[in-house]
Structure 1
Amino acid sequence: MQGLGELETAVMEVLWRDPGPQRVRDVLDVLNTERDLAYTTVMTVLDNLHRKGWVSRERDGRAYRYVATRSREDAVANALRELLDSTKDPESVLLRFARSVSPRESEVLRRALDDTAADQ
């Protein structure tokens, strides 16, 4: 994910899979099925994500409960937008991308463009 490190992305994936408020321990338990992380590591990552605006948090006793502030789809779309903005030839990139999509994806793009044109 653009602007996020590997561990930040893994934490966001946990929050996106279960959109309810989650404690550090909840996130750690999911992540530790694949790796061996310390509680303080996950707490620091969630604090950084909060500072970056990726998650909100609410006090629950002495701990916080965290929730993603943007959907996975919004995050991916924003990353694509940033990539297009960072290239000198966005039209060429869009054309190459358009040629790589499946027929179903192409139809989704056509409908979205038609809806956008109808709104203008």
Structure 2
Amino acid sequence: MPHEEGRRPAGALEAEVLRVLVAAAEPLTPRDVLARLSAPLSYSTVVTILTRMYDKSMVARYKDGRSFRYAPLTDESSVAAERMSAALGAGTDRATVLRRFVAGLRPGDEDLLRRLLTDDQG
């Protein structure tokens, strides 16, 4: 699906905020997160993203004076796996969805997937 010029793909900001939180040694304030992001965002945008992530149980929120600190409850791989599972569940023909997913894999990913499935069996 094409994106408008300058517009990020869905979930891209959440993924970047999550990367910042996972890399931190302690819970961060929204201002701390803003300072560590590569994307030029406003403070209110960061607060909105963190609030949405809290509502989705992606982060924990701790009261710190008049503000909050946030810590990750998940990682980027888990979020991607959940999105893949949701996309699979949205289709009516799971076999066709999986077949088209596998057909779109990068070189080497199909072999990796096969190894992962074999390892889980044994």
TM-score by length of 2: 0.73
In the other structure, the counterpart of 1:95 is 99
CA distance in structure 1 between the partners assigned to 2:102 and 2:114 by the alignment: 11
> What is the CA deviation profile of residues 19-38 of structure 1, one whole-angstrom value per residue up to 9, with x for unaligned ones?
4322111112234x53241x
1:65 to 66, 69, 74: 69
Unmatched runs of 5 consecutive residues or more in structure 1: none
CA distance in structure 2 between the partners assigned to 1:55 and 1:110 by the alignment: 32
- Aligned pair 1:47/2:51, yes or no? yes
The AA in structure 2 aligned to 1:106 is E
**Structure 1 residue 93: Cα displacement:** 1.5
Distance 1:110 1:51, change over 3 A: same
Distance 1:73 1:8, change over 3 A: closer
CA distance in structure 2 between the partners assigned to 1:111 and 1:12 by the alignment: 28
In the other structure, the counterpart of 2:40 is 35
Q: Contact between 2:34 and 2:41, CA under 8 Å: does it hold in 1?
A: no
Unmatched runs of 5 consecutive residues or more in structure 2: 1-9
Structure with more of its chain in helix, by fraction: 1
Q: Contact between 1:19 and 1:68, CA under 8 Å: does it hold in 2?
A: no
SS of the aligned residue for 1:88 comes to: coil
Give aligned-pair identity as a percent.
Answer: 34
In the other structure, the counterpart of 2:17 is 11
> What is the CA deviation profile of residues 65-96 of structure 1, one whole-angstrom value per residue up to 9, with x for unaligned ones?
21121110010011000000001112112112
The AA in structure 1 aligned to 2:20 is V
CA distance in structure 2 between the partners assigned to 1:28 and 1:8 by the alignment: 12
